[in-house]
Amino acid sequence: MSKTPNEIVFVCTANTCRSPMAAALLRHALSAQDEPISTLKVSSAGVSAFPGQAASLNSVDALKKVGIDLSDHQSQAISQEIVDNALAFFCMTDSHLAMLSYQIDPPPQNAYLMRQFIGAGVDDQIPDPFGGSLRQYEACRDSMVEAIPSLIEVVKKLHQSANPAE
């Protein structure tokens, strides 16, 4: 019997800026939900990541300003284990969706843009703040925060579809 996927995975390029911030923000938001949603694993990975890198200092500082600690993050690349456990992938940009589909065979049917569920007329891309100012990282964080309520609803629906007995 195969294991039911139970992990939400955020995807960016190097897994040191956007995806770790997004994972920490959703993990924080899910902790206020009822079980089993509050206990889902939330992680992040990069399509071109070098494993073991810390989150960028501005990512750590941008989240520290909203009370979330990202200081223990270690980057990781997409792996088969991550793919096998993923209930859903939430990517930062269209290029991450494309790279994910290129790296995984067969391409995942459970991959989305993080901001695609907010609504019509909203930019669904999250630009890379790498090398930018703390203010750019804060803007990136805020664009992720805007997506969290819609992501929680999507995660609930995906979890219910994968676990109809719960």
Q: For residue 166, what pLDDT is reported?
A: 67
Domains and CATH numbers, the chain: 7-156 (3.40.50.2300)
Q: Tell me if residue 115 is catalytic.
A: no
pLDDT at 1: 39
Per-residue tokens: 146: 């805007």
Q: Consecutive sets of 10 residues in the chain, 166 residues long: mean pLDDT of each?
A: 80 98 98 94 97 98 98 96 95 97 91 95 95 98 98 96 82
Q: Name the amino acid, one letter, at 96.
A: H
Residue 38 has what pLDDT? 94
Catalytic residue among 12, 17, 91, 140: 12
Measure the CA dihedral 88/60/147/99, to 10°: -40
pLDDT, residue 105, reads: 87
Q: Which of 17, 18, 27, 140 is catalytic?
A: 18
Given this model, what pLDDT does residue 109 score? 92
CA proximity to 25, closest of 109, 146, 116:
146
What are the backbone dihedrals phi and psi of residue 163, each rounded to the nearest 5 degrees, phi first?
-135, 65
- CB neighbour class for 128 (10 Å; exposed up to 12, middle 13-18, buried from 19): middle
Residue 128 annotated as catalytic: yes
Write the CA distances from 72 to 67, 81, 144, 145, integer angstroms.
Answer: 14, 21, 20, 21
Q: Which of 61, 72, 123, 128 is catalytic?
A: 128
Asked if 94 is an active-site residue, the reply is no
Q: Which candidate, 36, 24, 30, places its Cα nearest to that of 66?
A: 24
Predicted TM-score (pTM) of this structure: 0.96
